[in-house]
Structure 1
Amino acid sequence: MSLNKTSHHHFIIYKPYGYLSQFSSNASKQQSKKFLGLLYNFPEGIMPIGRLDEKSEGLLLLTTDGKTSDFINSQKVEKEYYALVNGDITSEAIEQLSKGVEIGLEGKKYQTKPCTVFKLEHVPNLPERSKKIRDSRHGPTSWISITLNEGKFRQVRKMTSAVGFSTLRLVRIRVGTIHLNTMQVGDVVAVDGF
């Protein structure tokens, strides 16, 4: 049985810093929060595939198709992030990250799976973030690429902290074969499928 792709809606967006990866909330304390619905008039039943926390930005896929969402959220699909970390990251820290580190998850200890990590030679060409990041007067920083097949809550931030280099900025640049490329903050692109 083949699925009729035209019966579902799919979008690629560049989630801005400061937005929640959801469309609304009934919680009164979240009245001042920014939701994805501010970016575009999305169709009914749309859902984010995975999440980016409020302080993270970059590539977010949206769909009305639960099966597509489940597949992309599975550990079969890689997610690549660029992380700006506090300090000049060492090769030892990069090796630890790639082998897996212990992080806290829902009050328990969790060992992350091996992943691909390397230091970027140059500052990536990303749009400027809406909220200023501390500058070099406060000490050195480094950019790393980290590619995961899992996506635990705030995983990248917890991983870099575990090796002593806290994350200052986090941008997801790739999900599977879909890249951020030249998208700008807040861009929304409707696509036929993923």
Structure 2
Amino acid sequence: MHLYLLHKPYRMLSQFTDRTGSDGTPRDTLANIINVPGIYPAGRLDYDSEGLLLLSDDGELIHRIAHPRFKQPKTYRVQVEGIPDDAALEALRQGITLKDGLTRPARVKRLQSGGLPERNPPLNPKRHPITSWLEIIISEGRNRQVRRMTAHVGYPTLRLVRVAIGNWQLGGLAAGEWRRETLHAPAKTQRKPPSRRSSSPSATSSKRRRP
């Protein structure tokens, strides 16, 4: 099976078609940057967010990556308005009560910089003279969750870039670039031969579903 790691640019839909435009203006989609038949994204990124998106042609793999039950940690670099104080960071770590309930505790730390190329178009320094960067790791995927969490503690998100999903890293992919990985399914466990001691005609064997 194949897995595609793609760096979704800013202002691009996490899908291959645009059916939701309200003003009639076409928006960029994944079809602008990758042309591989039969692949679908595992999860999504908002139109105004950037970073790692995973795609595959294997439905079971997509399910294991995207379903909340598997709790894949997602790592974001987040540029926020202002400089969050210790109380704000601790609130994020403890969990934030949003309209759809309490979030799971996040792992949060300050960063000296995002370590990323400038966004296109860049932030306007006159509108946002004081900003700072955080690394935020969450294990759930509510709608616009990171943005709502930082806004709740008083520091709105200005730029959000996902740099990892589980062990998959964005690495050196530039915006609009992608790479393919080949994943090998684990070998099936070989069933042991039946014991010679269980040769009685009355003995029965139970079949168990192997994972």
Q: Normalised by the shorter chain, which TM-score bucket?
A: 0.7 to 0.9
| Matching of residue 150 in structure 1 with residue 143 in structure 2 | no
Gaps of 5+ in 2: 185-211
| Matching of residue 112 in structure 1 with residue 103 in structure 2 | yes
Tell me, in whole angstroms, the C-alpha distance in 1 between the residues paired with 2:27 and 2:45: 14
Identity %: 38
Deviations 1:123-159 (A, max 9, x none): 1221221122122774321100110110100000000
Measure how far apart 1:193 and its partner are.
2.8
Correspondence for 2:123: 133
Correspondence for 1:90: 85
CA, structure 1 residues 28+89, in 2 after alignment: closer, same or farther (shift >3 Å)?
A: closer
Correspondence for 1:166: 156
Correspondence for 1:193: 183
Aligned residues between the structures: 181
CA, structure 1 residues 118+136, in 2 after alignment: closer, same or farther (shift >3 Å)?
A: farther
- The letter for the 2-side match of 1:103 is L
TM-score (norm 2): 0.80
TM-score (norm 1): 0.87
Tell me, in whole angstroms, the C-alpha distance in 2 between the residues paired with 1:91 and 1:173: 24
After superposition, residues 28-107 of structure 1 pair within 5 angstroms as 29=22, 32-44=26-38, 46-73=39-66, 74=68, 75-104=70-99
Larger radius of gyration: 2
Tell me, yes or no, if the aligned pair for 1:77 and 1:175 is still in contact at 8 Å: yes
CA, structure 1 residues 125+176, in 2 after alignment: closer, same or farther (shift >3 Å)?
A: same
Structure with bigger RCO (C-alpha 8 Å, 6+ apart)? 1
